[in-house]
Structure 1
Amino acid sequence: MFQVALTGLLTGLALIIAVGAQNAFLLRQGIRGEQVLPIVLTCLLSDVVAITAGVFGLGIVLERWPSVLPVAQVLGGVYLIAFGVHAAMRAWRPGTLDAGDGTAMTTGRAIMLTLALTWLNPHFYLDAVLMLGTVANSFGADRWWFLAGTLVASVLWFFGLGFGARLLRGIFARPTAWRVLDSGIAVVMGTLGVGLLAH
């Protein structure tokens, strides 16, 4: 059982530790110290819902109706490109890139942005629902231990990234650092968006 849970932990970490739209947004907000807990909890809850659904068999549904994924690709691609353009505009105007006092973004907006960046990304379904669901079910009755391991991975990563990012705040006291970060986010978001639309 421990070995299955450990496999779930390592597999979960391998999938979520990647430069993506959700992680880039969480990193930026973590550095700013702005609405971090609601974003972390939204990311975590999304993983719990998606991975659990995959283990319960939603992956089979998506395999039978693959037309759902192309629709998500188009919506997600357009959204990511728009988000990338917004990040590029922030980088272009460094006067708006201060560390913030935690009040610039409301909790509701932070949650909605996080939900959009998560659930409009078809890779989220492929990784969390199809892939993890398929691997979990390969363990038969022990699949719940695999699920537990993947959820521990999500907790460790999202809390670590969201609240650990504050350690970089000294670096980002300089506007130039924010310009570099937002430029990187713009490139990541734009590349992901174009990639989704192209495929």
Structure 2
Amino acid sequence: MFNVLFTGLFTGLALIVAIGAQNAFVLRQGIRGERVLPIVLTCLLSDLVAITAGVAGLGVVIERWPAALPVAQVIGGLYLIAFGIHAALRAWRPTGLEAGDGTQMSVKTAVLTALALTWLNPHFYLDAIVLLGTVANSFGADRWWFLAGALIASTCWFFALGYGSRLLRGLFAKPSSWRILDGGIAVVMGALGVSLLAH
């Protein structure tokens, strides 16, 4: 039970910590201290909906067509390995991240921007629905513990990123910090991808 929960936690963190438009937006707004809570809650709600749909939906498909699981695991494993390679390339040529400029945005604009950066990103569907759903369903009845771990990861990450980013402004402005972060992500994702393919 707890090993599945922790697997969900670490898998969720490995996916969500990757540098992307959504995280860059949360980081910038956190550094500026602007509309942080609505943005964090929007990202969390999006993850809750998508990951739950992935776990529940793929669970139904696998119960009706058991042969779908090995296919999904191969696809998920290959995607994880590709994701790890992409993270390794980012680690090879890292860039710093600076806070955005401009006037203060409204709550509505902040929420709509967070929604757009989340739901208009095709990787969000692959990560939250396909990939996490596939890994979760490989645990059978314990997949809901995996879901709980993944949602804990999202909660911890977005609140830490949104509210802790002001303290880390100098650190995340340095390319070397992103190199270490992306290097770790590359190792975790590659190892998980290989384990899925070998499962």
How much does 1:97 deviate? 3.3
What SS does structure 2 have at the residue aligned with 1:166?
Answer: coil
Q: In the alignment, what sits opposite 2:21?
A: 21
Q: Distance in 2 between matches of 1:142 and 1:37?
A: 32
Measured at CA, do residues 58 and 142 of structure 1 come closer, stay the same or move farther in structure 2, by a change above 3 Å? closer
Deviations 1:69-97 (A, max 9, x none): xxxxxxxxxxxxxxxxxxxxxx9xxxx93
How much does 1:7 deviate? 0.3
Q: In the alignment, what sits opposite 1:151?
A: 151
Q: Distance in 2 between matches of 1:168 and 1:31?
A: 8
Q: Distance in 1 between matches of 2:4 and 2:47?
A: 19
Q: Distance in 2 between matches of 1:29 and 1:116?
A: 15
How much does 1:132 deviate? 0.3
Q: Distance in 1 between matches of 2:56 and 2:134?
A: 10
> What 5-or-longer segments of structure 1 have no aligned partner?
64-90, 182-199
Q: Distance in 1 between matches of 2:46 and 2:15?
A: 14
List structure 1 segments (4+ residues) > 3 angstroms apart after TM superposition: none
How much does 1:113 deviate? 0.3
What SS does structure 1 have at the residue aligned with 2:163?
Answer: helix
TM-score normalised to the size of structure 1?
0.63
Which letter maps to 2:53? A
Conserved? CA contact 2:10–2:150, under 8 Å: yes
Measured at CA, do residues 22 and 137 of structure 1 come closer, stay the same or move farther in structure 2, by a change above 3 Å? same
Q: Distance in 2 between matches of 1:167 and 1:134?
A: 36
- Out of 94, 101, 111, the residue aligned to residue 97 of structure 1 is 101
How much does 1:121 deviate? 0.3
Which letter maps to 1:106? S
Which letter maps to 2:107? T
Q: Distance in 1 between matches of 2:163 and 2:8?
A: 23
1:67-82 counterparts in 2 under 5 A?
A: none
How much does 1:42 deviate? 0.4
Q: In the alignment, what sits opposite 1:54?
A: 54
Conserved? CA contact 2:55–2:133, under 8 Å: yes
> What 5-or-longer segments of structure 2 have no aligned partner?
62-67, 69-97, 176-199
Cα root mean square deviation, aligned: 2.7
How much does 1:58 deviate? 5.7
Q: In the alignment, what sits opposite 1:115?
A: 115
How much does 1:166 deviate? 1.5
Deviations 1:38-62 (A, max 9, x none): 00000000000000000011696xx
